[in-house]
Structure formats: structure tokens, C-alpha cells
Amino acid sequence: MSEIEFRDAIKQALDEELARDERVVFFGEDVAAAGGVFAVTGGLQEAHGPRRVFDTPISELAIAGAAFGAAVTGLRPVVEIMFGDFLHLPMDSLVNQSAKYWFISNEQASVPLVVRSAVGAGGRFGAIHSQMPVPWFQGVPGIKIVCPATPRDAKGLLKAAIRDDNPVLFLEHKRLYSMKGPAGEPGEVLPIGKAEVVRPGDDLTIATAMKSVHDALAAAEELQGDGVSAEVVDLKTLRPLDLATVRESVVRTNRLLVVEEGPHTGGWSGAVLGQLAEDALEHLDDVWRLTTADAPIPYSPPLEDAFLPTAERIVASVRERLGLAAPSNPVTSTV
């Protein structure tokens, strides 16, 4: 199977869906002429024309409002909010209009729109361009939150999001844009709301999403040398959560570590632990989570590296929890 960069997988999904369905439109700040601040969407306007792909003024609320209006009048808009840190600006349109319209219309009208946004730290973007906004939307009924970790998932899940009749928040970790991986089958559409065991194991389940999946895989490889067989579950979608897959894993391993790039207070990892405690407490010998601190994200490279739940921190957390001694050659992340 051929390999593709994460950013190209996103572009291919947009290109294919624009070609497949004339109702799909794509707009946002600098997405057309400039090709996107992360060089994801170049060439789409040339391929599909300025009525289907176009730039907007610098107003996130206007972008979201236009997307809502387009969606309820027959189009299937995809919009880009350049950085996830700015998703609080269109909150009214997304939370009080788009997410509620199907309900308040007595199930007569859907809102098929997708909001793409770059999220995550580790790229030296500072405190207001590096946040993970999942908790802002986690408690909002009517919005789906998709968080791919690989190029295949980025393409297949974005295609699914565009075809979904509900508002979908599609989050792209900026540290993954240059990552290469299998492209998947031609035209493949992956199901929203389905997690995947990406590494089998017997002693510990590590559940996580986005870039942290790759950190968890690196940590699991290191822990294998300690005699710890770690199973890694890529959640892929944080609303809805596929707790059934996590539960099946926990029934086998009896231990659960949830890794979240985001603050400890109010994070989605707490929801995973809480729901698993309600449903599978008898299978849990140990359960904990690894997050970032309740603090703004540092700009200083050494401080930012220490702030994040990296592969090194995952390994250290597991060793401390299981009472294992650290070797002389620690693990390092490759993503």
C-alpha cells in the first residue's frame, strides 16, 4: 500500500468530496489562494473554482455563521478555523445554532457541516496557538468530535465527516501534518465513533488519540523490554466515544491508562475513566491518566517538551505505577 503525508490525505479527501458532491463547498481564512497556513489545501480552488473553494474575511464567527446558513439551505460546507485556539469565537453559532437545529426543528432539518482546525502543542507556537479545545465541546449534544492519528484515518474520517448529516468538529494535530503512513484503500470511508486497537497487549491498556497515539506506541515498545505488554487503543473519535472497544481491552488487561494532551481539570480523559469505572469497575485493578498540567502551554522548547505527555513521560508513569526500575537508555519519541 502506498504512503502519503497526513496533510496530503486531508487534501485528497477534500478534493474527492468536492468532485463527488456538488453541494460540498470549502471556505475559510487563506485556504484558497494561499493554500492554507499549513500548506494543506493548495490547488483546490484551481480544481473546483472560486464558487466552491474561496477565502473569507478574518472573522471566525462570520465563517461559522455562513456555514450554518449554507448547511440548512442545502449545501454541505466544510470550513477551516485556522487554529483550534480560536474556536471559542464561533461558539455561539456552533453550539447554539448548528448543534441544536435538528432538535429545535423537531428533527426536520439537519446541519451537515464540518469545521476543520489545527490543534496541539509541540510546535513552538506558544500559549494561544497550541491548545487542545476538545473539552470546550465535549459536553455539547449534537456535535461530533473526530481526532485522527494517521493519514489513512485523516482521509477516511474526513470523507465520513463531510457525508455526515451532523456538525462535525474535525481536529488535526499540527505535529502530524508531515507524518507519512499508508494511504488506505481508494475511496475508503471510515466509520465515525469506532476506536481501534493499534497494538495488542495483555498487561495494560493505553487509550489515547491524535499525536499521543504515536507516543503511546513508542512507549509500549520500550515497556516491552520491561516485560510489560501494553495494548494501545486509538480512540479516533472523542464524541461519540467508543467505550465498548476500551472496555473489551480492559477486560483482558485489567489496567487502564488514558493519555490526554490537555489540562487535567475538565479533560475528556476523566470522562473515559468515569464511564469505565461505572461499567467495568470489576475488571480494573488499576486506572489512572496522564495529562498536561493545569497551566498555559509554554513557548520555551525545553519547557514545552516537559509539559507534554510524551512517550518518555508515558513510560515513566507506567514504571512508577507498576514499581519498575528505569533502564539506562530511555525511550525517545519519533513524531
Spatial neighbors of 330 by CB under 8 A, at least 6 apart, are 222, 312, 315
| pLDDT single digits (tens) 221-259 | 999 999 999 999 999 999 999 999 999 999 999 999 999
Structurally, what CATH architecture does the domain formed by 196-322 represent? 3-Layer(aba) Sandwich (3.40)
pLDDT at 303 over 90: yes
Note the residue count of the chain. 335
pLDDT at 334: 55
Split at pLDDT 50, 70, 90, the class of 317 is: very high
Catalytic residue, from 60, 222, 231, 312: name it: 60
Which residues neighbour 32 within 8 Å (Cβ) at sequence distance 6 or greater? 41, 44, 45, 50, 53, 54, 55
The reply to whether 129 belongs to the active site is yes
Q: At residue 51, does pLDDT exceed 80?
A: yes
User: What interhelical angle do 6-20 and 151-163 show, nearest 10?
Assistant: 30
Residue 60 appears among annotated catalytic residues: yes
Burial profile 289-310: b = 16 or more Cβ within 10 angstroms, e = fewer: bbbbeeeebbeeeeebeebbbb
* Residue 79 DSSP one-character state: E
Nearest C-alpha neighbor of 143 from the set 180, 111, 175: 111
At residue 57, the 3 state secondary structure works out as: coil
Q: What share of the chain is helix, strand, coil (3-state, %, to 5)?
A: 40, 20, 40
| pLDDT tens string 197-216 | 999 999 999 999 999 999 99
Q: Do domains 3-182 and 196-322 have the same CATH topology?
A: yes
Query: Strand (E) positions, 9-161?
Result: 24-28, 53-55, 76-83, 114-119, 144-146
Residue among 5, 29, 129, 261 flagged as catalytic? 129
Write down the domain spans for the chain: 3-182, 196-322
pLDDT for res 1: 67
Query: In angstroms, how far is CA 176 from the centroid of its own chain?
Result: 11
Question: pLDDT tens across 137-163, in order?
Answer: 999 999 999 999 999 999 999 999 999
What proportion of the chain, given as a percentage, has pLDDT over 90?
Answer: 92
Give the C-alpha separation, 43 to 50, whole Å. 11
The three cell numbers of residue 125 are 507556537
Q: What is the CATH number of domain 3-182?
A: 3.40.50.970
Phi, psi of 104, deg, nearest 5: -75, -15
Instruction: Read off the pLDDT band of 331 (50, 70, 90).
Output: low
What pLDDT does residue 330 have? 57
